[in-house]
Structures are given as C-alpha cells and as structure tokens.
Structure 1
Amino acid sequence: MATEASDWTWLDPLRRIDQAELAHMCSMSVTELDELVEYGALVPVVAEPRNRQFSASCVPPLREASRLRAHYDLDLFTISLLLGYLQRIAQLEQQLRSLNAHIPHPPTLPREGPTPWREPHA
C-alpha cells in the first residue's frame, strides 16, 4: 500500500495547514471548524478570519474525533470536549516517552520461573 504525501507531511508539528485543507483532511466542513474554533477546541496559528492556519499537530486528534463523531453520532460541542481530551492524552503520552528515555534500564531483566538445573562440581 503506497503512502501518499498528504498522509505523512502533516506529522510535522511546525507545518501550517490552512482551514480548507484541514477540513478536507479531517472530513469536516469549514463551518464546523469555525464552530470548533469558537468553542476553543481548535486554536489557529494565524487567526485571520479569511486565512486561518492551524498547526499540523491538530490533525491526528481531529481525525480521531471526526471518526468517533461519525460512529457515535455526536454533536460538535461534544466533539470539542473530546478533542481537548485527545490532545491532552497525546501530550501526556509524549511526556511519558520523554521521561522513560531518561530512566536507566537494568542491563538484564530478572529471570522468572525456576532456576536451571546444574550438575554439582566435585
């Protein structure tokens, strides 16, 4: 299965996405995104009403929220709450990965189960 450029380029959090592209990528309309901005669930990087741009880091949680909206028939206010929680979970997972990278791991893990049988030496 070939990966399209649009599937991996939004992973860069420094990349900016305009509102129409974000709506297309997340299967939402521009008016729905406007409503999410009004609720405070989405914060544009460039806040001009005609040229709103968002960070690409909002794409994965917004896609997940859009998928859950379609599956459970949720309204946009509920999606705004859900989107906040999904973004918080992603942030906490990143912090956990960062902290785990600084913890020294033991060179060998303790062996579980019975010890191996050894012939006594004389």
Structure 2
Amino acid sequence: MTVHVPELWGLEAHHRVELEDLASMCSLSAAELRELVDYGALVPLLGESGDAGLQFSAACVPPLREAMRLRTHYDLDLFTVSLLLGYLQRIAHLEQQVRALQANLPHPSLLPREGPTPWREPHA
C-alpha cells in the first residue's frame, strides 16, 4: 500500500510504507534511509527483495520524524540519529507496555487507602 503524505494522519502500524514515501514523510533522502537500514536503526519488512521495493512498517514513521526533528535542531550526524532512533523506538515500546499494565489495574478509587487512618473522635 502506498501512503501519501496527506494520508499521514491515518497511518496504523500494520500499514506498509515504501522507501520513497517514508523518505518524503520524514524529510530524508532515499540514500539516508538506506544508510539507517545499514546501521540497523530501520528494519525493512520481509517479502521484498529489491532495494527499490523496500517497505517499512508505518509504526516507524513517528519516531523517525522525531529523530529527524532533533537532527535538525541539534545538527546531528546520521549515525547519531540512528542511535537516537533506537532509543525513541525503545521508549515508545516501553510506554506501550506501561499502558497495557495500567489497563489491568483496578480503578484508583477501588485500591486500598495507603497511609495513616484518619483520626476519629472516640465515642464514650
């Protein structure tokens, strides 16, 4: 599935994004994306053998766009961006795990109260 930039808001993790589309979405050249693949920061989806037909999961778009924003802001080289991208993806994965764990907790009002019990006037 080819995704155009105006359709960016509708991306879901199961969508596939072509190399050229990902480059245009993230303000990168195709050569820079291939370099990130060589560094191991981006992993193309299986099934495509040709370099021109590389496809990526749409889940890599938000962290890659953030890494490119930070690259521009701090004037980072591409190797540093590859390290940063790995950390951004790891943070996103951990945040997803935290949300999943929090979904299994009971509502805060149902949790036992912590701390000292409130003071009550003794009855005679």
TM-score by length of 2: 0.81
Segments of 5+ residues of structure 1 without an aligned counterpart are 116-122
SS in 1 for 2:101: helix
**How many angstroms apart in 2 are the aligned matches of 1:70 and 1:6?**
24
1:76 and 2:88 correspond: no
Identity in percent: 60
1:9 and 2:10 correspond: yes
Moved beyond 4 Å, runs of 4+ = none
SS in 1 for 2:89: helix
Please list, as runs of the form range in 1=range in 2, the aligned pairs for 1:8-47 lying within 5 A after superposition.
8-10=9-11, 12-45=12-45, 46-47=48-49
Distance change >3 Å, CA 47–CA 87, structure 1 → 2: farther
Match for residue 121 of structure 2? none
Q: Aligned to 1:88, which of 62, 87, 90?
A: 90
Segments of 5+ residues of structure 2 without an aligned counterpart are 119-124
TM-score by length of 1: 0.82
User: In the TM superposition, what is the alpha-carbon distance from 1:105 to its structure 2 partner?
Assistant: 2.0
1:44 and 1:55 in contact (8 A); partners too = yes
